[in-house]
Amino acid sequence: MEGVRYEAPDTLQAAVALLAGATGTSRILAGGTDVIVQMETDLVEPALLVDIKKIRETREIAGENGGFRIGAAVPAMEIVEHAAFSKAWPGVVDGVKLIGSIQIKGRASIGGNVCNASPAADSVPALVAAGAIARIIGPNGMRDVPVEQLPVGPGKTSLAKGEIVVSFFLPARPAHASDAYQRFTPRTEMDIAVVGVAVNLALDAGGTCTAARVALGAVAPTVLLVKDAADALIGTRLDDAALDRLATAASAACRPIDDKRGTKEYRVKVAGVLARRTAQQALERARKSR
Amino acid sequence: MSRKYHVTATVNGDECEFLCEAQQTLLDILRDELMLSGTKEGCGTGDCGACTVMVDGTMVCSCLVLAVETEGGRIETIEGMAKGDQLHPLQRNFLELNGLQCGICTPGILIAAKALLARNPDPTETEIRYWLAGNLCRCTGYDKIIRSVQAAAKEMREARS
């Protein structure tokens, strides 16, 4: 028994080489709030842990082309406390804020929340609605993919062996654009979403919605980007009829499971109600943003 | 023979060295190697907050930090809270107002409350409850904990003015 090998490289190239060359099970370590629990409970026994927190590109929040690039290993607390990012993407921050306790947020990374691939991960619907693009590096170089293409099922991602999510790019915001994320849980804190809804929208000067993206969490094996729900909003002023169509489209997109947090029927119903509320919150924010 | 890693870190202001295996948590090393058993193990999976410590100024569950990650780091535990015989105002108020019963959650709550008051010397009850949401207590019903934090905060504000 050799035990677990721990490496903390300071370049992406070195991290990729370690992961690509690994023979046994390997895991990337960022905040560790999932992988350490999996190790403690013997769900995974990695031969190699690659800590990516010493790699500059994974640990920065930086401006880029008027938008933001967030390192995959940036902990939730740093994102929540980033004033300029919170102003530009309040819905993403709504989601990140819900990732566990203060202690958990001090460690848990945004990249980990995506790559753990929980259908109920709170930051993921908001990132998908935001149109966030993940930058991935691997043995064959760099590629950029929309966040919704990363999770492929509970606990499973589309990453190939040796690949690492480096960062997420969130584009520049036009005037009168904003986003919101709401989740439904029986308790207000320390719970897992029964349903999560993110709405990202832009208005023209007259208040008509010109662009929208709607994403649902915890109602299917992966977070869903629901085009029909967005189409219900585009071209409207989010009047009652538009919000009704949004709610219907959100409920129709659900493919939920029954579990201890809620039945299928309950989740389908709540998805519509929550989509309406979340769209109204995004609308309020968009009206105020410039 | 499992691979061992040599780590040098600062614990409560003192430089210390230890050997660990990669899968050993900071909680394991604090309690079993450094004999700092003030930090408690509750769930071991980051749900209860009993093992809360500060690492490089950030409040974390020490059960969810690998000891090997703390190389060059600054760790603060409950053992560093009192200054010699002089208890921290939080510790004193928890004693005076019975902010504990069995005491297992107390070190983690004291660390978390100290971190809160460093950021916000005058938190509302709601702010205290949300900040401490990651620290579970199965005895007190929380009310005395909240009142102890409020009393300590008041005392610390008055001492400063």
Strands (E), A124-263: 133-138, 141-146, 151-153, 156-157, 164-170, 177-184, 195-203, 209-217, 224-225
Rounded to an integer, the average pLDDT of A186-205 is: 91
Whole-angstrom distance, CA of residue A22 vs CA of residue A11: 17
Summarize the confidence of residues A51-56 as an average pLDDT. 98
Instruction: Please choose, from the candidates A184, A185, A240, A250, the residue with its C-alpha nearest in 3D space to the C-alpha of residue A212.
Output: A250
Separation between Cα atoms, residue A94 and residue A80, nearest integer Å = 8
pTM attached to this predicted model: 0.95
Choice between A188 and A5, residue whose per-residue pLDDT is larger? A5
Partners of A106 on chain B (C-beta within 8 Å) are 58-60
Closest-approach residue (CA) in chain A for B109:
A103
Predicted local confidence at residue A2, as pLDDT? 65
> ipTM of the assembly?
0.95
The single-letter code of the amino acid at B145 is I
Q: From CA B3, how far away is CA A1, in angstroms rounded?
A: 9
Cα angle, residue A222 at apex, residues A217 and A228 outer, rounded to 5°:
65
Task: Test A102 with B64 for CB contact under 8 angstroms.
Answer: no
CB A117 within 8 A of CB A153: yes
d(C-alpha A141, C-alpha B148), whole Å: 55
Nearest to B64 among A5, A32, A51 (CB): A32
Mean pLDDT of A35-48: 94
Nearest by CB to A40, from B22, B45, B58: name it: B45
Q: What pLDDT is stored for residue B140 in this prediction?
A: 83
Nearest to B68 among A6, A100, A107 (CB): A6
Helix ranges (H only) for chain B are: 26-28, 89-96, 106-119, 125-131, 143-160
Evaluate if residue A1 carries a pLDDT over 50.
Answer: no
